Amino acid sequence: MSTEEKPLPEQEREAEIRPLNPATLDPLGRISASSAAEIGDAAERAAAALPGWSADARRRHRVLAGWAEAIIAYADQLAAALVAETGKTITEAHREVRDSAAALTYAARIAHRLDRGGDPLVAHLIREPVGVTSLVVSWDWPLLLLLRDLAPALAAGATALIKPAPQTTNITHRVLALGRAAGLPEEAAQVLAGPASAGRAAIGHPAIRTVAFTGSARSGAQILRSAGQGVRRPVFELGSKGTIIVCADADLAGAARSAAAGATVTAGQMMMTCMRVLVDRRHHREMLDRLTEAFRALPVGDPADPRNRIGPIVTPGAGELLAAYLSSVAMSATLYSGGQRIHPDALPGYFLSPAVVTDLTLDSPLIQRGLFGPIIAVMPFDTEPDAVRLANATPFGLGLGVWTRDPARAWRLTRAVPAGTTRVNGYRTAYQWLPSSGFKASGIGDGARR
């Protein structure tokens, strides 16, 4: 074996890339592979550049248009490089160059809002069903979470495999039976019951083209790995740390009621639950008292009784986990009110009185982890930038509420805190005709869903 034929040591293989001309096998030079540090630095620089780049549409138009002109000017050299590096024909290479320039030109027109047409070519966009869709449905809102994805998929002509949570398999069968009675073919929407292995099977079949999932960020990461093996389109709405920012000029009573209601839907166990309240420091203590009062006005008990507003935690194990977190938090923070297990109506389930927690540090699990239960963490802020810093200090970005009487302030805050759904002087309001998704670890894919 010659020196050139010996396999490179692991470190050298990682440090260099050595492409060959597909036709001649001649070396095309050596390329240094990016290190982990370089990749991290590039990502940070890209994030830092985002606000400036996204803010100037005229600049984006100018850059994209100029880029297209440069590609046309260097068309011969670029085509030759394509031939050498891909092995495609020169005719195909020139076509790719032209099409690449055209794509930039089109994008430039969109950026500048000046696309007036003039091209004699008539193009038709034909919408095709994406194919078989796999729906992995959480237990917390099993009908809405199912149908908000399944209904538009069916309307578009797609078919679906449905993996409900074991907890809510029966209701899923029931609602599908109603659909079949209305004429839905059995093959068009099929339920796969079982544990997580059934969900993996529902995702892993080669026929699956799209995977829709609503649930925890951890489960979403596992599903994404499975989906990625078959190049399937992901549509994920994941973990959350729903936040309300309460400014000094806000309606404090209304904000407290809104936060309390948002924190106790499904006993605080749905993705859009309000989990944090950031309040102007001048109103910190008042907000703690108002939240406590608002929680006490929400009866906890038998969920079959229409007078009750808060039911049990889904399982005793989940309740014990919440209790353990509250106990650990109490050692370094302040459990201002609630947070005790209660036994309403002599029921054996795990009921938790809604909790208000404050004096937390940013690394607390109640701030950084997707813990679901009737618990609100309250943190004071001093300035508007401080509120933005605290709001953005979690890996999630699903729901946000901003309470203020100043429209300009509301606009600044909603633009500064990435969230899939933002509400001003409210929380929890949803509209079926609007997109629903998340930022950061709270979502991926086409959040519009319809």
Provide DSSP, 347-395.
--S-EE--EEEES--TTSHHHHS---SSEEEEEEESSHHHHHHHHTSSS
Please compute Rg for the chain using Cα positions: 27
Q: Find the length of the chain.
A: 450
* Residues 209, 233: Cα–Cα separation, whole Å: 6
pLDDT digits (tens, 9 = 90+) for 129-138: 677 788 888 8
- pLDDT band with cut points at 50, 70 and 90 for residue 383: very high
The CATH number of domain 132-237 is 3.30.70.270: no
pLDDT at residue 6, as a whole number = 32
pLDDT at residue 287, as a whole number = 98
Instruction: Return the closest-CA partner of residue 81 out of 72, 94, 68, 69.
Output: 94
Burial class (CB in 10 A: 0-12, 13-18, 19+), 21: middle
299: left (phi over 0), alpha (psi -120 to 50) or beta: beta
pLDDT at residue 183, as a whole number = 61
pLDDT digits (tens, 9 = 90+) for 211-254: 888 777 777 777 777 766 766 788 888 878 899 999 999 999 99
Residue 382 makes CB contacts below 8 A (sequence gap 6+) with 281
pLDDT digits (tens, 9 = 90+) for 172-208: 787 777 777 766 777 778 788 777 777 777 787 778 7
The answer to whether residues 397 and 442 touch, using CB atoms and an 8 Å cutoff, is yes
Buried/exposed code over 155-172 (b: 16+ C-beta within 10 A; e: otherwise): eeebbbbbbbbeebbeeb
pLDDT at residue 109, as a whole number = 79
Residue 140 makes CB contacts below 8 A (sequence gap 6+) with 266, 269, 270, 271, 314, 372
Instruction: Return the closest-CA partner of residue 258 out of 393, 428, 397.
Output: 428
The answer to whether residues 440 and 243 touch, using CB atoms and an 8 Å cutoff, is no
pTM: predicted TM-score of the whole model, two decimal places: 0.71
- Among 48-52, 94-98, 292-296, the range with the most confident prediction by mean pLDDT is 292-296
pLDDT at residue 45, as a whole number = 46
Q: What is the mean pLDDT of the chain?
A: 78
Q: What is the DSSP string of 203-269?
A: HHSTTEEEEEEES-HHHHHHHHHHHHHTTPEEEEE----EEEEE-TTS-HHHHHHHHHHHHHGGGGT
Instruction: Return the closest-CA partner of residue 246 out of 45, 381, 119.
Output: 381
pLDDT at residue 381, as a whole number = 98
DSSP character at residue 64: H
The answer to whether residues 94 and 75 touch, using CB atoms and an 8 Å cutoff, is yes
pLDDT at residue 116, as a whole number = 37
The answer to whether residues 326 and 373 touch, using CB atoms and an 8 Å cutoff, is no
pLDDT at residue 119, as a whole number = 44
CB-facing half-sphere around the CA of 389: CA atoms within 13 A = 8
The answer to whether residues 159 and 188 touch, using CB atoms and an 8 Å cutoff, is yes
pLDDT digits (tens, 9 = 90+) for 7-59: 333 333 345 667 777 656 788 888 766 555 655 544 654 565 556 666 777 77
* Tokens at 279, concatenated: 């309040």
Helix/strand/coil percent split, the chain, to 5: 45, 20, 35
Q: What residue segments make up the domains of the chain, in order of their start?
A: 52-118, 132-237, 242-430
Pick one of 1.20.1050.10, 3.40.50.880, 3.40.50.1820, 3.40.309.10 as the CATH number of 242-430: 3.40.309.10
More reliable by pLDDT, 103 or 120: 103
pLDDT digits (tens, 9 = 90+) for 305-361: 888 888 888 888 889 999 988 888 878 899 999 999 999 988 898 899 999 999 999
- pLDDT band with cut points at 50, 70 and 90 for residue 102: confident
